[in-house]
Chains A and B, each alone.
Chain A
Amino acid sequence: MYRYDEFDAKFVAERVEQFRGQVQRRLKGELNEDQFKLLRLMNGLYLQLHAYMLRVAVPYGTLAARQLRKLAHIARKYDRGYGHFTTRQNIQFNWPKLVDVPDILAELASVEMHCIQTSGNCIRNVTADHFAGATADEIEDPRPIAEIIRQWSSLHPEFVYLPRKFKIAVSASTHDRAALRFHDMALEIIKNETGETGYRVLVGGGMGRTPYIGYVVGDFVAKPDILAFLESVMRVYNQSGRRDNLFKSRIKILANALGPEEMRRQVMREFMEIKQKGTLELPVEELKRIDAYFAPPKFEALPDEMPKAGKDFENWVKTNVHAHRAPGYAIATISLKPIGGVPGDCSAEQMDALANLMDAFGMDEIRVSHEQNLVLPHVKKRDLPAIFAKLSELGLATPNAGLITDIIACPGLDYCDLANARSIPIAQDIAKRFADLDRQHEIGELKIKISGCINACGHHHAGHIGILGVDKKGVEYYQLQLGGSGAEDASIGDIMGPGFGEHEIGPAVERVVKAYLTLRQDGERFLDTYRRVGMEPFKNMAYLDQLYAAH
């Protein structure tokens, strides 16, 4: 794992004091709320419906045990005893007091963490494949370049006041677990025909009210050139991104207006200039220095056998345990989606216990996934029964990773200032309807994603089944979208038609799933069936049954 050197440590410590000064100026009235808002957002502090919310960066989703313990401590001391993991691999605290925030930041700095740029119109916390460094299907660990991007983007003098927020994701696998194609910019680590490793760069993906799938702007960017290339994209965006309309200011709108050819031309012009000057070239030594921090742990030579420990364990292994690069090892997903729970929530007690589990079995590492779960990336297969037993005690052994009850949901109207409708109760209702595990296995991979408003924080556009909460004359309605995907086969879901009431959406989802079970052919996932047959049969079933039910 990356460790701060003296420079990183000083940088974060100074940033804490800088923010402390900003809070004091606000409390003294020297900054008005309009001015302070911009400054606090740049440090992850939102003013929500009921209270402030602090979003802590978990760069590329990687945490050490001491960091997780610190988050537990913060949850207990400054919040209400829990935290909420987000779709951008961060953690949010929902109830901190403004006056405490500088102290929380100082506590975070003591374990090499911060809240820098977890909000605001700047380059946000960079995300990565949550199986990075552990999965067999990657070219190399994507986290070193993510760390290099973290440093380059931290308080970048030119790009802290962009037209709008800017999200970057990195992956090195043909299996996209980081939703690359829905990011403002994404790096896909690839090999060219001569076997050299470099980056394919995509821009212009995004969700929100106008979803787009990103397109390729750099076919193969050589490693030493990557920061120059990223800076070039940022220049084009900062100079030309729209600032007249909040809803048209993301780079996806500019990317769509320019088109790939013109975007490439503009980026290349900047790139040639920066490259020629050489100021942003990444020397091989620097790449090696950062790489060394992420060197894989020493794996023992172990027999590659899965232990037997009963039916419940087997069920958990089936969905929550994934192939590891080293024989005898596995990757374990810890579901934060207990049936009827709040997706992504984790209590201080659970965090502490997980930290102990990491010490005992997990090689001191845990990951936050963009699907709001946690991941133990390096565990021995022979330890899995003990891990499963401990997770069961903690209420963290829900065997549903990738199944229909592994639902992504934004905080919705229960917390969020922007939401039109509640998301969490809908997720809870759907999870309860499909709680039966045999039925979940029968349905197979099915990703439900729920957003409480058009900003799409719950990624509904990328859900196999997406649900969007809307407000119609003070009443919450839910629109269904089918056929989205955030993976390597990225697509934007199609809107089915008129929305369903809050008590109708659960039954409607059940009917859609029933339609799938009727229509599917051998081996088809929900998404495959939808892509083969289209919307009509699903729509007929969803609405016709509703008509019969009403009469």
Chain B
Amino acid sequence: MPLIKNGAVIADPFTMLADDQPLPAEGGAIVSLTRFRKDRETLLARNAPLGVRLNADESPEELGDDVHRLSVVVIVFPKFRDGRGFSWARMLRTRLNFTGEVRAGGDFLYDQISYLLRTGFDALDSNFTLEDLNRARSEMSAVYQPSADGKKTIRDLRSGK
């Protein structure tokens, strides 16, 4: 699937690996948390960017300090109504101070794009167009809550901040 990142549709530079799939000779790879735990030494020793894919019931805290050695964390939405991913992304950004790519994967709707961007996702694994993305983020121009995107809130605007 194409990837929307930094306002552009790009080809995914990472290989998404199933647990039984061999590591590619070179280039970035994304593995499940299970595989990361099993092959941690090998994966981290590899001279290429690494990503871990988290299921909705896997907190980013389970990565421990290793999170900072990753280039990508993919958070998979099993079903669009499962909103745990919003908290995981926010946690990656505001608690773990993760500065790499936080990518949304799995099942999410156009109507959730603005929430994804607000809670700290910066890449969407999806078929949405840039036009979709821009429209989705402009539907509600102002927000009431601070979140991981650092956007000014309505209270900030009221007090002229």
Contact = CB atoms under 8 A, between A and B. Distances in A.
Interface stretch (A97-105, A278-286, A430-438, A469-477): A278-286
14 contacts: A10-B142, A11-B142, A14-B139, A17-B139, A35-B80, A39-B109, A121-B81, A151-B154, A158-B145, A161-B86, A161-B115, A243-B82, A273-B95, A289-B158
A161 B77 CA distance: 11
Contacts of A238: 83-84, 86-87
B157 A7 contact: yes
B142 A7 contact: yes
B94 interface: yes
A156 interface: yes
A298 interface: no
B140 A155 contact: yes
B107 to A, nearest CB: 10
B132 to A, nearest CB: 12
A238 B119 CA distance: 14
Given A14-B141, A17-B139, A158 B95 contact: no
Contacts of A70: none
Contacts of B53: none
Contact of A157 (B59, B81, B86): B86
B81 A155 contact: no
Nearest to A162: B83
A159 interface: yes
A299 interface: no
A22 interface: yes
Given A5-B158, A155-B143, A160 B83 contact: yes
A235 interface: yes
A160 B115 contact: yes
Interface in B110-144: 111-112, 114-115, 118-119, 139-144
Interface residues of B, number: 34
B120 to A, nearest CB: 9
Interface in A153-211: 154-162
Given A151-B144, A157-B119, 20 more contacts: A8-B154, A10-B142, A11-B140, A21-B139, A35-B80, A35-B109, A38-B80, A121-B83, A156-B144, A157-B114, A158-B83, A158-B145, A159-B86, A160-B86, A243-B82, A243-B84, A273-B95, A283-B159, A285-B159, A289-B158
A518 interface: no
Contacts of A154: 144
A238 B114 CA distance: 18
Nearest to A231: B145
A273 B94 CA distance: 9
A283 B156 CA distance: 11
A161 B108 CA distance: 11
B84 A239 contact: yes
A19 to B, nearest CB: 10
B69 interface: no
Contacts of A35: 80, 109
A5 B142 CA distance: 13
Contact of B145 (A8, A18, A121, A157): A157
Given A14-B140, A154-B144, A155-B143, A239 B111 contact: no
B115 to A, nearest CB: 4
A39 B90 CA distance: 22
Contacts, number: 91
A7 B111 CA distance: 21
B145 A152 contact: yes
A161 B146 contact: no
A279 B147 CA distance: 9
B40 interface: no
A286 B157 CA distance: 12
B147 A158 contact: yes
B46 interface: no
Given A154-B144, A277-B94, A38 B81 contact: yes
Interface in A1-39: 5, 7-8, 10-11, 14-15, 17-18, 21-22, 35, 38-39
Contacts of B118: 157
The 10 residue pairs across chains A and B that have the minimum distance between CB atoms: A161-B83, A157-B118, A279-B146, A157-B115, A7-B154, A158-B86, A151-B144, A18-B139, A238-B87, A157-B147
B51 to A, nearest CB: 22
Contacts of B37: none
B140 A158 contact: no
B131 to A, nearest CB: 14
A15 B84 CA distance: 24
A156 B87 CA distance: 11
Interface in B19-70: 56, 59
A325 to B, nearest CB: 30
Contacts of B88: 239
Contact of B140 (A15, A162, A285): A15
Nearest to B56: A243
A452 B86 CA distance: 36
